[in-house]
Structure 1
Amino acid sequence: MSVRYVAIGDSFTEGVGDPQPDGTMRGWADLVAIGLAAAHGSVEYANLAIRGRLLEPIATEQCDAALALEPRPDVMTFNGSGNDMMRPGWDLARVDALTRRVVDRTGEAGVRLVILSGPDPTERLPRGRTFSERADPLMELIDDIAATHDHVTFVDNYRDPEMRRAGYWDEDRLHLNPLGHSRVAARVLASLGVETDLPLAPAGDPGRPGMLEQSRYLGRYVLPWIGRRLTGRSSGDGRVPKQPAWATIEAPTA
């Protein structure tokens, strides 16, 4: 029996950090679609995520487009607010309202909703403490939503201590590498009843970066990010969803 699965979100769900030879991004959501196809024979898959998106367009534009797909999805994964946390004007009440909009819309449509938190990047990020001060109460909010809505499952990667290790992160320290995406996919599949081996990074983590390495990191990643913020640009400007309509994913061959 085929399952219809749609993903909405930002760069985490688009798959940034898991590049393929042709330059496209794969990521955990694609891996979830492949895992569902292996379990059910095939899956209809759409991915509306776009890097750089704030929570509001995810919870409104992307959510509405996902629920307008024909036929209607059976399962939706939803992640957002990571980009909001790194900007001024953070408003937990607004985030709560937008998150509950997705919860209400999927509940009305009879669509199973899997909410994901991204893993905790704060140990390696500038202003990491600000991120954690905003993320901690948000996790409690989503705990409450999942506990009070039967159609909602929460896959909490943020409080997975294993994923704080460097072995799961891309060199930009913000996005996951292929191993990190694989671990998230396995956790999502398990929440959907598809048991999958949980990847583990090799033992041992590198030491703290030296001054030269840190300077290179700031120049390559942090300063361009600041430049986009100052000029009102986003890494997702001009981009469209990588899979806006249903595509059939067949079960992988042995």
Structure 2
Amino acid sequence: MTTHVALRFVAVGDSFTEGVGDADLRLPNDCRGWADRVAEELARHQPRTQYANLALRGLRLKQIVEKQLNPALRMAPTLVSFHAGGNDLLGARLDMRSLIGRFEDAVARIAESGAHVLLFTEYNVPLSPVLEPFKLRTAVFNKHIRRISAAYGTLLVDHWCFEKYQDRRMWAPDRLHMSGIGHEYMAKKVLEVLGATHSLGSPVLGALQPRSRAEIVADDAAWLRRDVAPWLSRRFRGVSSGDHLSARWPALMPVVLPERLGMSAQPVRL
């Protein structure tokens, strides 16, 4: 995507776009994420770039549409990233037809505004063999995302196809959100889809150290206690991890480059 008009980039969605997993205590909601990184790279080459990020963790598609779409469109964006539906796919009950219809309606509204639309497929996150049935839901949803993208002429980041995310270091300890390395690589792939000049490289990952069966079992037990149990508790109580948070960057603003905040602009390496 190339443009001579001042770029107004608005990010809409859930924890994937908020930046959860890419921890940074100096930033709102203590995270950075791929969208911030994309905005930074765009601003380096298009200084008039403005950026807003309305995404918030824990939201389902219906909530994202109701809470974020109108505010996003009122900003007259030239680019809208839209990622939603992942939390719906993890629900005990799912009306796939309704989910797909609501997703397509949202994409149609964004496209009608004249903004470029950026969509994403979902990744088959390697949570646990117990949750493998969710893979079918994800595959069906992705099939329709690709169809919708083609029908409305949107840009598409086909996350499902990125083999690098098979490496567990691309994921945060909760196994659901990308790590800092995962977010940086996602930013690179987004910029490639946008056709934008950037300085991001692929993650530099050494060989994975083999783990014993005992280490794997201990890691699984810690994950269930630390991440799964609280998540199930919130689901049971009808609350979300984002209930007491606000959008990180709720209004369009010039992009503050990380070097001005004393943050490293170098690639994350392991």
TM over 0.5: yes
Matched to 2:37, the amino acid is: L
Q: Report the alpha carbon displacement of residue 128 of structure 1 after superposing the two structures with TM.
A: 2.8
Other-structure match for 1:205: 208
Shift in CA distance, 206/226, structure 1 to aligned 2, threshold 3 Å: farther
The partner residue of 1:68 within 55, 63, 74 is: 74
Task: State the one-letter code of the partner of 1:244.
Answer: P
Distance 1:124 1:251, change over 3 A: closer
Q: Partner of 2:97 in structure 1? A: 93
TM-score, normalised to structure 2's length? 0.86
> In structure 2, do the counterparts of structure 1 residues 22 and 251 end up closer, same or farther at CA, with 3 Å as the change threshold?
closer
Per-residue deviation at 1:215? 1.4
Where 1:214 maps in the other structure, the secondary structure is helix
Separation of aligned partners in 1, 2:108 and 2:238: 31
- Once the two structures are TM-superposed, the CA of residue 64 in structure 1 deviates from its matched residue by 1.5
Q: What corresponds to 2:190 in structure 1?
A: 188
Q: Residue 54 of structure 2 aligns with which residue?
A: 48
Q: Post-superposition, which runs of at least 4 consecutive aligned residues in structure 1 deviate over 6 A?
A: 251-254
TM-fit CA distance, 1:207 = 4.2
For 1:11, the aligned partner's letter is S
Could you tell me the percent identity over the aligned residues? Answer: 32
Q: Residues of 2 paired with 1:251 and 1:20: CA distance?
A: 14
Q: Check conservation: 2:9, 2:77, Cα contact below 8 A.
A: yes
Stretches of structure 2 lacking an aligned partner (at least 5 in a row): 260-264, 266-270
The reply to whether residue 108 of structure 1 matches residue 108 of structure 2 is no
Question: Structure 1 pair 87/189, CA: closer, same or farther in 2 (3 Å)?
Answer: same
Q: What whole-Å deviation, never above 9, does each CA across 1:35-85 have from its counterpart, x for those lacking one?
A: 11112123110000010000111123211110012xx10000010111111
CA 1:241–1:252: 2 relative to 1, 3 Å: closer
Q: Which residue of 2 aligns with 1:125?
A: 128
Counterpart amino acid of residue 114 in structure 2: G
The DSSP-based 3-state class of the residue aligned with 2:49 is strand
5+ long unaligned stretches in structure 1: none
Query: Which of the residues 29, 36, 39 maps onto 2:42?
Result: 36
**Counterpart residue identity of residue 244, structure 2:** G
Q: Tell me how far apart the structure 1 counterparts of residues 110 and 219 of structure 2 sit (CA, whole Å).
A: 45
Q: Deviation per CA, 1:108-164, whole angstroms, max 9, x where unpaired?
A: 11011000134331x2336431221110011111111122222x1110112212212
State the 1:205 CA deviation: 3.0
Q: Equivalents in 1 of 2:143, 2:108: separation in Å?
A: 18
RMSD of equivalent CA atoms: 2.0
For 1:171, which of 162, 170, 173 is the aligned residue?
173
AA aligned to 2:192 is: A
Q: Report SS of the residue matched to 2:87.
A: helix
Query: What secondary structure sits across from 1:158 in the alignment?
Result: helix
Q: Deviations over 1:191-243 (max 9, x none)?
A: 11114444234143354643222212211111111111111111111221111
1:5 pairs with 2:9: yes
Q: Is the contact between residue 123 and residue 138 of structure 2 (CA under 8 Å) also seen in structure 1?
A: no
What does 1:220-239 align with in structure 2 at a 5 Å threshold? 220-239=226-245
Q: Distance in 1 between matches of 2:17 and 2:176?
A: 13
Aligned residue in 2 for 1:160: 162
TM-score (norm 1): 0.91
Answer yes or no: is the 8 Å Cα contact 1:59–1:101 preserved in 2.
Answer: no
2:220 is the counterpart of 1:214:
yes
- By how many angstroms is 1:173 displaced? 0.8
Q: Shift of residue 107 of structure 1?
A: 1.8
